[in-house]
Structure 1
Amino acid sequence: MNMHSTPIAVHPAAQAYRMMTDEELGSLAASIADNGLRDPIILGKVKGSTEQPAIVDGRNRDKACGMTGVQPRFEVIEFEDEDAIRAFVKDRSERRDISKGQRAMGHALLFPDAQKGRQGQEKGAGNRRV
């Protein structure tokens, strides 16, 4: 039972990290039902963009609100660029209860170019003769 009149898109950066398990989501939904939504769902967009803001933090809270019928609260943040959105999502991931491997995978999905550069250095790509 989602309370939104239209579905809110999830920013691709936010999808780099896993959703809660059904058990974790049930616990969050029960907490929201008992105590209300404490932290707003963060919507982000790039300054000057004509695209609608998308969820950059709070996919699980949004889903839990829909499960319980609690009206979600939103906060919209305008970012300078897509890199700023990815950095925000990465910073928020540090608070999550995820394993080091899950965090590393999320970071790799957020910043694929950084991983490519690191792999090239590890393989000695800078030492090749042309």
Structure 2
Amino acid sequence: MTSRILFVCLGNICRSPAAEGVLRHKAPHLQIDSAGTSDWHAGEPPYVPMQHAALRRGYNITEQVARPFHPVDFNRFDMILVMDGRNLADVEAQRPPGNLTPVKRFAPFAGRDVGDVPDPYYTGEFDAVLELIEAASDGLLATL
């Protein structure tokens, strides 16, 4: 049974904390966390424009703190969901030998022809990213 889910993006300040906040709201019974493949923003809260966009939709992510992904996360979680292909490669590069924890792209759970969750830090499309995250969260929950 999947009850421990980790979301991973690059800096852990936009996409993965938003996904954590959305899924935590929709499924409070699950253990959910997020991390980044870089440590650039470790210890920082989510990016303020993402916080504001999430709050407008009813998700409070203001208390989250960015942290880097670590190989031990493979043992701490039942599933690791990444936001794009680069995140997938970076996470897989840290997989301990013999570990079988599934690592999947998150966006396809939305049931759309999309492979990646675009990074709103660069695009500015915070609301569109949240819509995709909401749809993917609903799709994920339907599979659990």
User: Is this a same-fold pair by TM over 0.5?
Assistant: no
The structure richer in helix per residue is 1
Superposition TM-score, scaled by structure 1 size: 0.27
Superposition TM-score, scaled by structure 2 size: 0.25
Q: Which has the larger radius of gyration?
A: 1
